[in-house]
Amino acid sequence: MPEISIIVPVYNVKEYVSKCMDSILRQTFDDMEVICVDDGSDDGSESILDAYACKDARVHVIHRENAGYGAAMNAGIRMASGKYIGIVESDDCILPDMYEKLYRAAENNAADFVKADAYYWFEKCGYQRRIHMKQLDRFYDRLLGDNDRNMFFEFFMNIWTGIYKRDFLDKYEIRFHESPGASYQDNGFWMQTMMYAERAMWLNEAFYLYRNDNPAASVKNVDKIYAMTREYDYLEELLVQRQEYHLLPYCYYMRLIRDRGTVMRIADSYKRGYCEQIKRDFRRCKSAARGDRALLASLVKYVENADAACSDMISAKNRLREKLAGCEGIIIYGAGFRGDIVFRILYNEGFYDKLSCFAVTHCDGERHLAGKAVMDIDEAVKYYAGSIVVIAVVRGTNAYEQMRRKLEEIGCVNYIAGTDLEENFYVL
């Protein structure tokens, strides 16, 4: 009986799955099994998995007809025999000591689950950035319980950076929604673990490489309009069936957060129609978000005048795209947290090849990010004349005003605010 069962759902990821499997099998923690659920792959991924099973007795493969991510994950959980369940997506990778440290923390604290941070990972350009919620520092590395539950939802949303006690999942019947496709079924599982855990912990370390450069990732599909809506419908129905009405406000609040993301993610032609869903959700769920004024303000414009809100967003996106496409290059002014957000937006909007460099006000030594140099802003503007500068801090702050004045002092007037990109493009 292994201590940890690691479930790897697989569907047509031939380019990535070997690197994923190698990273799992190199773990310093050996008392584990790896359950690969092949959900009807036809690109050769299935043969790669079989080869790993032949070489390593810890690897087990389930071949099944395509039934979707949720069904594949539930099949893996049914087969798992470990005390703990781990999850690794088949295009991602993990660092060697991930499960050893998670297991030790879970055992020492009798935790229902233990999680850690992850890295945004763009393998093709050699970029990774730790996803860390600094404002939650005092909640890391300590056992959290019911009094801290609201904080659970503030950590980076994912299901794969941790391990879950199998008895905990069984006690609360926590499983995946078996809807077709690979469409956000992780949300329902994540929500249940957040709502039911009595003892939880987040380690102040990062072990998981979350790939952002797979063009086939479901989160990049602009045609999946109501997949998230159906996931929260399922979750609410589940709670009503269980008569756990006190947990519904968590679902209402997160539904509104997902509405905001969905209207930005989906194709422009679908935005106006989706506003009707936002209106229904807003009327029903807004009381659960009354403490989040920013969220309510971002949604109320779609409720009060959907035509104008959608038109404004589409027009703003088109203007920004034209500016970015029409310049000779792009300089990201700011290499910190907001610079990371701007970079991820530009990459996923297809502008990586136009990225000239990152720039800071004072560069102390030779540095590189994402395969690009980090330069003094004075030097960057001179060397990459004709580039547009994206000021990668929050618009309207003192830092933004100082950077804007710096640009004008050196004669650069071709700049835009990174906040404009954040407000109009979906951030993965």
Domain limits, the chain = 4-214, 227-304, 321-424
Q: For residue 183, name the pLDDT band (cuts at 50, 70, 90).
A: confident
Q: Give the pLDDT band of residue 396 (cuts 50, 70, 90).
A: very high
**Tokens standing for residue 168:** 């905990």
* The CATH fold of domain 4-214: Spore Coat Polysaccharide Biosynthesis Protein SpsA; Chain A (3.90.550)
Instruction: Please give the DSSP secondary-structure letter assigned to residue 352.
Output: G
Structure tokens at 240: 């009503």
Per-residue pLDDT tens over the stretch 128-168: 999 999 999 999 999 999 999 999 999 999 999 999 999 99
Which of 84-93, 127-136, 211-220, 345-354 bottoms out in mean pLDDT, i.e. has the lowest?
211-220
Q: What DSSP character marks residue 134?
A: G
In 3D, which of 421, 337, 280 has the Cα closest to residue 132?
337
Whether 221 shows a pLDDT value over 80: the answer reads no
pLDDT reported for residue 288: 97
**What pLDDT is stored for residue 44 in this prediction?**
97
Strand, coil or helix: 320: helix
pLDDT confidence band for 182 (50 / 70 / 90):
low
Is 10:76 a contact under the CB 8 Å cutoff?
no
Distance set, CA 388 to CA 52, 296, 324, 391 (Å)? 48, 33, 7, 10
pLDDT at position 178: 93
For residue 13 the two structure tokens come to 């990821």
What is the share, in percent, of the chain residues with pLDDT greater than 90? Answer: 94
Chain-wide mean pLDDT for the chain? 96
Average pLDDT over residues 324-337: 96
Closest CA to 183 of 231, 215, 216: 231
What pLDDT, on the 0 to 100 scale, is given for residue 29? 98
User: Can you give the C-alpha Rg of the chain in angstroms?
Assistant: 23
Average pLDDT over residues 357-367: 91
Q: What pLDDT does residue 262 have?
A: 95
- Model confidence at 216, pLDDT cuts 50, 70, 90, reads confident
How far apart are the C-alpha atoms of 115 and 200, rounded to whole Å? 8
Distance of CA 240 to the CA centre of its chain: 28
pTM, entire model: 0.95
Which pLDDT value is given to residue 180?
Answer: 76
> How many other CB atoms are found less than 10 A from the CB of residue 250?
19
Average pLDDT value for residue range 38-55:
97
Question: Among 67-81, 115-129, 185-199, 205-219, which stretch is predicted with the lowest mean pLDDT?
Answer: 205-219
For the domain 321-424, what is the CATH superfamily, name and number?
Answer: NAD(P)-binding Rossmann-like Domain (3.40.50.720)
Q: pLDDT of 67-115, one tens digit each? A: 999 999 999 999 999 999 999 999 999 999 999 999 999 999 999 999 9
322 pLDDT band, cuts 50/70/90, is very high
Q: Report the run of H or E that residue 234 belongs to, with start and end.
A: helix 227-241
Is the pLDDT reported for residue 121 higher than 90?
Answer: yes
| Alpha-carbon span 108 to 124, nearest angstrom | 38
Average pLDDT over residues 248-256: 97
pLDDT(181) > 80: no
